[in-house]
Structure 1
């Protein structure tokens, strides 16, 4: 008796669209070694539609938000970004543009340490009454609008299931709308423990770290001082972080140490911290009041996040 051959079931249709989204809560929002939340808790969320041309090429666009505490009193950071993620074997790349928006800011003008040619902005226009009426008591300075964008490229080499290494590069023509170009480069590494390390519990673990350097150009005259009326050069600095993370299903708990080599005086100049102390740092051409801030020093970060994708978690 002949046996009738059975047809193989049809392959599932390839759906190129996916959406990633998630949220997080952390005790401190730190960006390149500098707190963005005055060392206070912060919440974050993101939404990222993706289009997969094939398994090795993806286009994406995203919107994210974080709560912050800036010297200009902006309370939120809104990120709008997009790019392309090609993969070639063990090499994965990510190339795109990232916009940082800070709505709700109010100009803070420290007349004691800003000398830009008769209280004018970078275009020579008189500063508004709002700006002059909101001088910080420590004489630090920050524009109302500090929104800016960066172009970036990232590369990751996956050695095996446990080890991966990467490099990042970010560039902006005007960091925090200061007029100073900014360039950030870093190297990263990550070790992912075998899935069996916690038995069948489903808990995963990783250890990761990053070492980066941030370079700057010269600001516009809004941030000028008596010694440098046309603008100041923010101090270049190194930053590093190392941490351990635990994963369970869609949850990640990341415990991290972050630091930089920015002095407290240079930190005050760079951040314009509203709570910087006066006269406790060396007086320099960039920092004529001797202000000092701890916004750039060593800190511990605990972050609990949830990350999902529609194709994986909502089917």
Structure 2
């Protein structure tokens, strides 16, 4: 009887040992990565240049943004300081879209709403200051909606090429359509440097808000940029970039309604001319913060 009891105890211990060992040695499962994330940042610029045209009257500007992400989906808002003829406190961009990543290909499809508030229509037809040009120079409201599609492809770990297409049915509230197409490329250099550039073309339609005899066809134009950047730990970036368009100073004035060209009577604007812009930006991502 004693022998049977001892044998049963040994057998039970042997059979239970692997299970106990497995329980002790089993690695803890890593927590699943959250599909949610938050990106946010800010930048200082010597000039806010938007597709070749200054939005800050060739002066310094500031921008900040925040973007919520869920897998491929995203939505965000950005604020830019401006100095425009309608005198808004700045530009507020509200946007949302989907950003699929398929191997080395990144796609981006979305909507952007440009909000300028509060605005005052810039006109000198009722009261014309001495030496100024008389006329109505802006719509009452320059807010507008734009749809876009972008693509970028990593040919090598260092070289990325891409393209983008943007369409606005009511560009800057003028009633004219705006279609912008761009090709771009970026090449990573050693020591976190990179060179990049883009060439784009804007096709702009005819205004419909100024009344019979005052509406006009907005000049199409070619835009290009090229620059060098340095990034520290994927967070801080210093960028020095040359921007240029093929618009003359008279064409630029007709496109922008530059208040200085109106008030001086010159009928010209340098907002679309050749310029070099320095930008210091900080970009953070919640999932990559070391102390979150």
Q: TM-score range by the shorter chain?
A: 0.7 to 0.9
Q: Could you say what secondary structure the match of 1:259 adopts?
A: strand
Checking the alignment, whether the CA contact within 8 Å between 1:108 and 1:134 is kept in structure 2 is no
CA distance in 1, matches of 2:148, 2:107: 11
- TM-score, structure 2 as length reference: 0.86
- Within the candidate set 204, 220, 227, 1:216 is matched to 204
Q: Could you say what secondary structure the match of 2:166 adopts?
A: strand
Checking the alignment, whether the CA contact within 8 Å between 2:132 and 2:265 is kept in structure 1 is no
Alpha-carbon spacing, 1:160–1:8, altered in 2? closer, same or farther (3 Å): farther
CA distance in 2, matches of 1:265, 1:230: 17
CA distance in 2, matches of 1:100, 1:134: 30
Matches within 5 A, 1:232-271: 232-249=216-233, 250-271=235-256
Checking the alignment, whether the CA contact within 8 Å between 2:139 and 2:209 is kept in structure 1 is no
Instruction: Report what 2:85 is aligned to.
Output: 71
Deviations 1:241-286, CA, capped at 9 Å, x for gaps: 0000001121000100000001111100000000116675xxxxxx
CA distance in 2, matches of 1:269, 1:303: 28
Tell me how many residue pairs correspond in the alignment: 268
- TM-score, structure 1 as length reference: 0.80
Larger radius of gyration: 2
Gaps of 5+ in 1: 53-57, 112-131, 199-203, 281-290
Checking the alignment, whether the CA contact within 8 Å between 2:170 and 2:177 is kept in structure 1 is yes
Instruction: Report what 1:138 is aligned to.
Output: 133
- Within the candidate set 282, 288, 291, 1:312 is matched to 288
CA distance in 2, matches of 1:46, 1:133: 39
Structure with a larger share of its residues in helix: 2
Matches within 5 A, 1:39-50: 39-50=58-69
Checking the alignment, whether the CA contact within 8 Å between 2:133 and 2:265 is kept in structure 1 is no
Deviations 1:184-230, CA, capped at 9 Å, x for gaps: 0000000012xxx33xxxxx1111101000001100141x5xxx716
Structure 1 vs Structure 2 CA RMSD: 2.1
Checking the alignment, whether the CA contact within 8 Å between 2:174 and 2:209 is kept in structure 1 is no
Gaps of 5+ in 2: 1-13
Instruction: Report what 2:149 is aligned to.
Output: 153
